[in-house]
Structure 1
């Protein structure tokens, strides 16, 4: 299987997982408007789940449920709810509420915020 087909298959599998999570997640699942509340910043805002990119930028996630990622991050901040960062290699890292921690700078595939 070529690399581009593997990449497409991986993205398709993540899209299906995100769709299923949205369907079974009830009121905690992300809606289309939730995606407008995620943004890059130079810091993690209060009440957000944040992953800090290897370049220093911070991705702020506001909503509960699953958000797709496809990049490298080195730190995580839970300024509110706990969350888990999932990696392309199948591993994951839990970030407890109101904590900051270093995370592996591996290719992340998604984050799930627990509410």
Structure 2
């Protein structure tokens, strides 16, 4: 015969998991599954993007500061405005809905404004 204490702890665990699932909502990825930046062949809708010198496009899809450590040639704010920071060059601001050539200096970070 199972103990009441064991059954109660399993019920409490199931309830806690159920509440967590309701709060997070359907289709919400866990922190381990989130991919806040990714390479693509184009700038996806709603993203802050920097085009690498080799033609690949780095898509940033979250607000705040993200690291960069490479050389880029072009930027596109296909969503929110952002600023690109450089090792040896003043920061460059890209207004929302615009695109432009950027310095070929080594970019060290990007700040997406939301």
TM-score (structure 1 length as normaliser): 0.69
- Supply the distance in 2 between the matched residues of 1:65 and 1:34 (Cα, whole angstroms): 19
How many residues align structurally? 84
Q: Are residues 1:56 and 2:50 paired?
A: no
The structure whose Rg is larger is: 2
Cα displacement (A) at 1:90:
5.0
- Supply the distance in 2 between the matched residues of 1:96 and 1:34 (Cα, whole angstroms): 30
CA contact (8 A) 1:34 1:63 kept: no
Gaps of 5+ in 1: 1-31
Could you say if the C-alpha distance between residues 46 and 36 of structure 1 is closer, same or farther in structure 2, counting changes exceeding 3 Å? Answer: same
Structure 1 runs (4+) greater than 4 angstroms displaced: 32-35
- Name the residue aligned to 1:29: none
RMSD: 1.6
CA contact (8 A) 1:40 1:60 kept: yes
Could you say if the C-alpha distance between residues 35 and 84 of structure 1 is closer, same or farther in structure 2, counting changes exceeding 3 Å? Answer: farther
- Name the residue aligned to 1:82: 81
CA contact (8 A) 1:82 1:94 kept: yes
CA contact (8 A) 2:48 2:112 kept: yes
- Supply the distance in 1 between the matched residues of 2:67 and 2:32 (Cα, whole angstroms): 15
TM-score (structure 2 length as normaliser): 0.69
Gaps of 5+ in 2: 1-30
Q: Deviations over 1:45-99 (max 9, x none)?
A: 0000000000000000000000000000000000110000000115110000001
- Name the residue aligned to 1:106: 105
